Structure 1
Amino acid sequence: MRAGICDMVAVARLINATLVVPELDKRSFWQDSSNFSDVFDEEYFIQSLANDVKIVKKLPKEFATATKAVKHFISWSGVEYYQGEIARLWDDYQVIRAAKSDSRLANNNLPADIQKLRCRAFYNSLRFSPRIEALAHLLVERMRSFGPYIALHLRYEKDMLAFSGCTYGLSLAEADELTKIRENTSYWKVKDIDSQEQRVKGYCPLTPKEVGILLSALGYPSNTPIYVAAGEIYGGDSQMADLRSRFPTLISKENLASSEELEPFSHYASQMAALDYIVSVQSDVFIPSYSGNMARAVAGHRRYLGHLKTINPDRKALVHLFNKLDRGSLNEGRKLSETIIELHKRRQGSPRKRKGPISGTRGKERFRSEEAFYENPLPDCLCQEESKFMHRS
């Protein structure tokens, strides 16, 4: 959501358009009825970008009957596309409606001023609403009272497992439920998924049990406070039991805040996720169990704030080790710990330039394989001094 909004700010600049405050998706799996102003600080968004792009809250009345084009912008498109094909639509239309905003703008090879605009929009202008910010910072204070804490983005909710087709560690009944959800969700295009193949390739979120093994192997003591940034965990307490036995100080927003404090947000998935986003950005260590949209956004935000420690699990390599544990050919202990620590030495958010496309890929897959702009905003959002990334621009 954040990435799509900020990309549309850049697109509006490219095609010399006034941007109408985006409508949020209300038809997703979570059926969230939140409006833009429920999640973000609308006034600040408009005012802070006033020198870059004109933004209005609603389509002006004089355009109510204007000719409109509904356009699916091509994914990962650059300047030539927007200033050519899309800008030519102004010859026949007065209003252009972007049917989708996800991954519509290229990660790389854009003018420096456009890249810097994306930075300003994402890291400055797109603040969360004041009431979300207020409660989130209260949650951060309460977490800090336990000491330095890990924010664990535990992507083990029903929608994630159904979408990815990952059923390792689940019962046959649970696996069947997830399959039915996937088959009955029309806009999820891939229906037939081999769960085992997904897992071996590293495409599945780590299970709560696997996260516990990872954290223990990395050397975190059992009294480490862990903030669980997540919705309802599929399988509930039974899935969390092993992780909780290793790390008893597992805390969620539901534990940190009273029911009265959470009530205004509790029925809105995006607003609850916004609370998790802020607590995760401010954590001492951030660890995502899966590299989804929110995990990438938080990781990039932490890079922007000074390369705060973010451990990105090597899921493919870890699954190989976890399978050995399951077979009994490897035991937890010093050897496993040394192996996992070595695997993650260079996966902790240290400064590096954004990765380009994977060698050998072509067409759309080439763009898809690039590291996302907001996952690693270097070098576009950070200045360099003596070959070291030092300051934000």
Structure 2
Amino acid sequence: MYSLIADAVVVARYLGATLVLPDIRGSKPGDKRNFEDIYDVEKFVKSLDGVVRVAKYQPAKLSSRNLAVVRVPNRVTEDHIAEQIEPIFRSKGNLRLATYFPSVNMKKTEQKSNINSVECLAMFGTLELQPEVHEVVDSMVERLRTLSRKSNGQFIAVDLRVEILEKKGCQGMKSCYSPQEIALFLRKIGFNKDTTIYLTQSRWDSSLDALKEFFPKIYTKESIMAVEKKEKFLNSEASEFEKVIDFYICSQSDVFVPAISGLFYANVAGNRIASGRTQILVPANIPGSSASAADFLSSYVSKKNHLAYSCFC
């Protein structure tokens, strides 16, 4: 969501256009939420005051079906807006933006442009959870810290989702690590059986048993969310809530381990860098019996090449 918002704000700013609060669309057709279901609208509007005009609702006279749809590459440049988007905007007057990801591109660019500061503001200064979702995340983080008494209240968040690991894109590539590989990696860099681990996997899957053998204090959303919140935030139609909860818990954990490479990892890394939580350890198959955790620090941090570093220098 951070990337999508940043692109929309950058385009609206360049064009001098009004930004209508976007729907939040899930991966399945028809799976969408209103912006205010998840984020604090007042904070969003206030943070963009003087930068971009924001409308909470699409004007009634505009039909979504009649809007010209423009594909916008993530991290859109001024040249692209001028050449590909502005002419359509000038002729049509209203646009619907559809961001796509030619690649996961969160590295900072060397050349400075007028849109850099707007991009930084949009990514790191506009989105805040609405109170109920905020409360759910805070209570889950608090629960994890309570469960981590033996490790001074510290816990690891691991982005590991079984349904993604099973997809063909993960087979044979080392951009994804299995539960067993994650268990071996964490052991070899010094984490012991008292380590508390939060998994982004929503519900327990038998394939995770190999990880639980090494690390018995391992938890999913299902096991630490308050019972009265599960019906709303953990049902078949709550995938966007689940992603947001994962994002914020992974951003607040003491250590973050992305078992899956990609956009979620890049966005969490940016949020962690912005808040000074730079313990991001990227898994690897380690020959031998032990290694230093410092050797596996994310290159976003070790090389300071994430765009967040150009926002928070």
TM-score range, shorter chain: 0.7 to 0.9
Per-residue CA deviations over 1:298-344 (Å, capped at 9, x if unaligned) read 11111111143110124xxx2xx5xxxxxxxx7xxxx3313xx3783
The offset of 1:113, in angstroms, is 4.2
Partner SS state of residue 70, structure 1:
strand
Instruction: Read off the aligned partner of 1:82 and give its amino acid letter.
Output: I
Q: 2:23 aligned with 1:17, yes or no?
A: no
Higher mean displacement: 265-274 or 75-84: 75-84
CA gap of 1:54–1:213, structure 2 versus 1, over 3 A, is same
Structural RMSD (CA): 2.8
CA contact (8 A) 1:352 1:378 kept: no
1:248 corresponds to which of 216, 222, 225: 216
Amino acid at match of 2:156: I
Contact 2:270 2:308 in 1 (8 A): no
Q: Does 1:127 find its partner at 2:128?
A: yes
TM normalised by structure 1 equals 0.70
1:153 to 151, 159, 169: 159
Residue 109 of structure 1, CA deviation? 5.9
Identify unmatched segments of 5+ residues in structure 2: none
Assess if the C-alpha contact under 8 Å between 1:66 and 1:94 holds in 2: no
CA shift for structure 1 position 98: 1.5
How does 1:331-346 map onto structure 2 within 5 Å?
335-338=288-291, 341=292, 344-346=295-297
CA distance in 2, matches of 1:253, 1:217: 26
User: Are 2:258 and 1:310 aligned?
Assistant: no
What residue number does 1:224 align with? 195
Identity over aligned residues, as a percent?
Answer: 26
The answer (yes or no) to whether the contact 1:309–1:349 under 8 Å persists in 2 is no
In structure 1, C-alpha distance between the alignment counterparts of 2:217 and 2:265, rounded to whole Å: 22
Number of residue pairs the alignment of both structures matches: 304
Correspondence for 2:307 among 359, 370, 377: 377
Q: 8 Å contact 1:112–1:380 — kept in the other structure?
A: no
Shift of 1:137: 0.8
Cα-to-partner distance string for 1:238-286 (whole Å, 9 max, x where unaligned): x122211111100122211232122221121110121122111111111
Q: 1:271 aligns with which of 231, 241, 244?
A: 241
**Deviation, structure 1 residue 9:** 0.7
Determine helix, strand or coil for the equivalent of 2:233.
coil
Q: Within 5 A, what are the aligned runs for 1:139-288?
A: 139-145=140-146, 146=148, 147-156=153-162, 158-162=163-167, 164=169, 166=170, 195=171, 198-199=172-173, 202-203=174-175, 205-232=176-203, 236-237=205-206, 239-267=207-235, 268-288=238-258
Secondary structure at 1:151's aligned position in 2? strand
Q: C-alpha distance in 2, partners of 1:295/1:214?
A: 18
Q: Which residue of 2 aligns with 1:368?
A: none
Would you say the 8 A contact 1:154–1:290 is kept in 2? yes
Give the SS at the match of 1:134: helix
Q: CA deviation at 1:379?
A: 3.4
Q: Which residue of 1 aligns with 2:264?
A: 294
Question: Which runs of 5 or more residues in structure 1 are unaligned?
Answer: 167-194, 322-329, 355-375, 384-393
Partner-residue secondary structure (3-state), 1:309: coil
Match of 1:380, SS state, is: helix
Distance in 1 between residues matched to 2:210 and 2:219, nearest whole Å: 15
Distance in 2 (CA, whole Å) between partners of 1:20 and 1:216 is 48
TM-score, structure 2 normalization = 0.86
Which of structures 1 and 2 has the bigger CA Rg? 1
Of 330, 346, 352, 2:303 maps to: 352
